Structure 1
């Protein structure tokens, strides 16, 4: 959650593209202050410090939380538990009028430089990231797709009206392809 608050202030948490450590930047400090104030003022419950994702979802669904930051895979659970009339999706609030910065991620695939089966691994990655596979994961598990085309697919938008809130076309992707020869 700290990372999202820092991004809301248009900052980076640890490293910029040039490798400079920025943990104490004004943006990172402002993002951390939002969290500190949330606990101090009581709009973030102290129990949340120990919650795992499902603990937070359960608190939200039982009415103990008005807002809950969650990952797209929980969308189907919330709609089933609460109904569309009691549940909606919105972007995280912006800070100081800055643009919304999506922080969706975690759908990475990689092949170890030490793999003995690189060709097979590549075939798997190509299948896993294909439109057919991504669409299936979205339809059956409400997992956020990695393919931008599915965020604009009218059929998918009908089923999953929250998709435009997960990505911002005006926000360029951060980083880029970097060689990580020893990362699995």
Structure 2
């Protein structure tokens, strides 16, 4: 599996366990499906480019010869993977046993009746970092189990800041000043995130809004976009492009383009997921040994990251739901979660791993990542999340491209989101 697109290449792309063609009622408990509840499964994942998942599943297969899992890969793109899943689930296709979903899809899939509610006591939920559980719930029920989490960090050129006698920015004002003044002295762009109109832009914009104390949708699903806090968040992003400390080229960046720009020594600051740490530390990186990572800044202090990652859910039409639930418990167990980090370089959901001295020596960003996850928040929850995200992308890209003012954009965002949620 791989961190890509939707909460970035910091987000585990959709994966699915495909099984036979036997149906259970939408929203049914996993144990209610036909077929005896136990049997072989097929795990399909979008782009297991790290190659870590196969050995994990072999560990399961050795102990469960009658419930073997076969790995099948879906397209790399999260958008394509979601479309493929949604098409099959909407048509009543009974192939899917387990879905490894982008955390933002839980509400949509639960509301559609595509995934079944789960019994929390079957899973090690008390061992998870607390915020990640919120991404797995919908309507007060547990519909998924966190598998991999993610939160953004601010990467910075430590060598540049050290020479200037500066510390990493804790506020937007500090970030703006350093990006505007220090970066040009060294021939660098100031700051970049993921600003192409796709899911990554939704994440970046939501982080700016959350950091300013606002929200796009309230906890009750009501539109909250026309607010001073939303205007502040949009203004931060628009001002960066207008004043030049966000390079215009960054409006074309997804995760990989932005990572490469930082790794090639073209940026002072980068917002990205933890996966970028390994690349920037590699032998071919021009910034290896010259950078650090801190939590995202906000208007008056540390900001708020959006939670990325993936959740495991059991299809409402699963043929072997008991096996599916046991596989989820296996994949979220402490030994396997350790391998998710050490073999896949993906942030685990088990809290104790973030305090392990040996792991911290190997992955020095873990304390920063833990702080980011603990202060992070889920993306807006909506049964029509895909449409919500498309609206956010379009509006925010317009304001960053200087086509509209932040105030006008906040009103437009509220107007268009209201139309989307009314249809839901």
Query: What is the TM-score of this pair, normalised by structure 2?
Result: 0.38
Deviations 1:108-167 (A, max 9, x none): 221222222222221222222222222112113321111111112222222222112223
Q: Which residue of 1 aligns with 2:322?
A: 119
- Greater strand fraction, Structure 1 or Structure 2: 2
Measure the CA separation in 1 of the matches of 2:375 and 2:256: 31
Q: Which residue of 2 aligns with 1:128?
A: 331
Q: Which residue of 1 aligns with 2:270?
A: 68
- Structure 1 gaps of 5+ residues are none
Q: Which residue of 2 aligns with 1:89?
A: 293
Query: C-alpha displacement at 1:48, in angstroms?
Result: 1.7
Find runs of 4+ consecutive structure 1 residues off by over 6 angstroms: none
Q: Which residue of 2 aligns with 1:151?
A: 354
CA contact (8 A) 2:307 2:377 kept: no
CA contact (8 A) 2:305 2:377 kept: no
Q: How does 1:91-110 map to 2 (within 5 A)?
A: 91-97=295-301, 99-110=302-313
Q: Which residue of 1 aligns with 2:370?
A: 167
Query: C-alpha displacement at 1:40, in angstroms?
Result: 0.8
CA contact (8 A) 2:304 2:372 kept: no
CA contact (8 A) 2:281 2:288 kept: yes
Larger radius of gyration: 2
Measure the CA separation in 1 of the matches of 2:320 and 2:272: 35
Distance 1:171 1:26, change over 3 A: farther
Query: C-alpha displacement at 1:174, in angstroms?
Result: 5.1
SS in 1 for 2:299: coil
Measure the CA separation in 2 of the matches of 1:19 and 1:165: 31
Query: What is the TM-score of this pair, normalised by structure 1?
Result: 0.82
CA contact (8 A) 1:6 1:28 kept: yes
CA contact (8 A) 2:264 2:286 kept: no
Count of matched residue pairs: 175
Distance 1:118 1:89, change over 3 A: same
Distance 1:67 1:173, change over 3 A: closer
Query: C-alpha displacement at 1:84, in angstroms?
Result: 5.0
Moved more, 2-11 or 114-123: 114-123
- Structure 2 gaps of 5+ residues are 1-203, 384-424
Query: C-alpha displacement at 1:29, in angstroms?
Result: 1.8
Measure the CA separation in 1 of the matches of 2:329 and 2:236: 40
SS in 1 for 2:364: coil
